[in-house]
Amino acid sequence: TFQAAANYGTAGPTSSVVARDFNGDGKTDLAVATATTPSSSDNVSVLLGNGDGTLQAAVPYVLGLSPHSVTAGDFNGDGKPDLAVATGVGILLLLGNGDGTFQAAISYDAGNQPSFVITDDFNGDGRLDLAVSDAGSGTVCVLLAGGDGTFQGGLSVGTGWAPVSVAASDFNGDAKPDLAIANFLSGNLSVLLGNGDGTFKAAVNYGAGANPFFVAAGDLNSDGKPDLAVADYGSTNVSVLLGQGDGTFQAAVNYGAGTAPSSLVMGDFDGDSKPDLAVANLGDPYSNPPISGNVAVLLGRGDGTFLAATNYDAGLNPVSIAVGDFDGDARPDLAVVNSGSGNVSVLLGKGNGTFQTAVNYGSGTYPGSVAVRDFNGDGRPDLAVANSESANVSVLLGNGDGTFQPAVNYASGNEPASVATADFNGDGKSDLAVATAAGVAVLLGQGDGTFQVAVNYAAGSQPAFVAAGDFNGDGQPDLAVANGFSQDTVSVLLNTCASAGVELAIARSNSTVTVSWPLPSSGFVLESTTNLASTNWQRAIEVRTTNNARVEVTVSAEQQERYFRLHKP
Is this model's pTM higher than 0.75 or not? no
> Does residue 47 lie in a domain region?
yes
Q: What is the pLDDT of residue 527?
A: 72
> 332 near 269, Cβ under 8 Å?
yes
Domain-located, residue 312: no
3-state SS, one letter per residue, for 135-160: CCCCEEEEECECCCCCECCCEEEECC
Give the sheet arrangement for strand 333-338, strand by strand. 318-324, 333-338, 343-347, 359-362
Instruction: For residues 549 and 523, give the distance between their C-alpha atoms in angstroms, rounded to a whole number.
Output: 15
Residue type, 206: Y
Is there a domain that residue 99 lies in? yes
Assess contact for 502 and 509: CB atoms under 8 A. no
The per-residue pLDDT for range 126-161, each reduced to its tens digit, is: 787 666 555 454 344 566 677 766 666 645 556 677
Asked, for residue 321, whether it belongs to a domain, the answer is no
pLDDT in tens, 193-251: 888 776 778 889 999 999 999 899 999 999 999 999 999 999 999 999 999 999 999 99
Task: Please state, in angstroms and rounded to a whole number, the distance separating the CA atoms of residues 397 and 220.
Answer: 31
Q: What is the pLDDT of residue 260?
A: 94
Q: How many domains does the chain have?
A: 2
Predicted pLDDT at 449: 94
User: d(Cα 524, Cα 546) in Å, to the nearest integer?
Assistant: 16
Spatial CB neighbours of 127, under 8 Å, sequence gap ≥ 6: 75, 77, 121, 144, 145, 146, 147
Q: Indicate whether 128 belongs to any domain.
A: yes
Which pLDDT tens digit goes with each residue over 326-337?
Answer: 999 999 999 998
In a domain, 100, yes or no: yes
Q: Which residue has the higher pLDDT, 496 or 118?
A: 496
Residue 130: name the closest of 112, 103, 113, 152 by CA: 152
pLDDT 10s digits, 375-396: 999 989 999 999 988 889 999 9
Give the mean pLDDT of the chain. 81
User: Is residue 537 one of the residues assigned to a domain?
Assistant: yes
List residues bridging with 45 in a β-sheet: 32, 60
SS (H, E, C) 297-356: EECECCCCCECCCEEECCCCCEEEEEEECCCCCCCCEEEEEECCCCEEEEECECCCCCEC
> Which domain-ending residue is among 143, 160, 179?
143
Tell me: the pLDDT tens digits for 440-499? 889 999 999 999 998 888 776 678 878 888 877 777 888 877 776 555 667 777 777 655
Res 120 pLDDT > 80:
no
pLDDT score of 388: 87
Residue-level pLDDT at 381:
92
Of 143, 164, 183, the one marking the end of a domain is 143
- Give Dmax (Cα) for the chain: 94
**Bridge partners for 207 per DSSP:** 188
Q: State which of 127, 143, 159 marks the end of a domain.
A: 143
Lowest mean pLDDT among 55-69, 421-435, 440-454: 55-69
Residue 165 domain-assigned (yes or no)? no
* β-sheet bridge partners, residue 179: 168, 192
Instruction: Compare 68 and 342 and report the one with higher pLDDT.
Output: 342
Better-scored residue on pLDDT, 76 or 135: 76
Domain that holds residue 56: 14-143
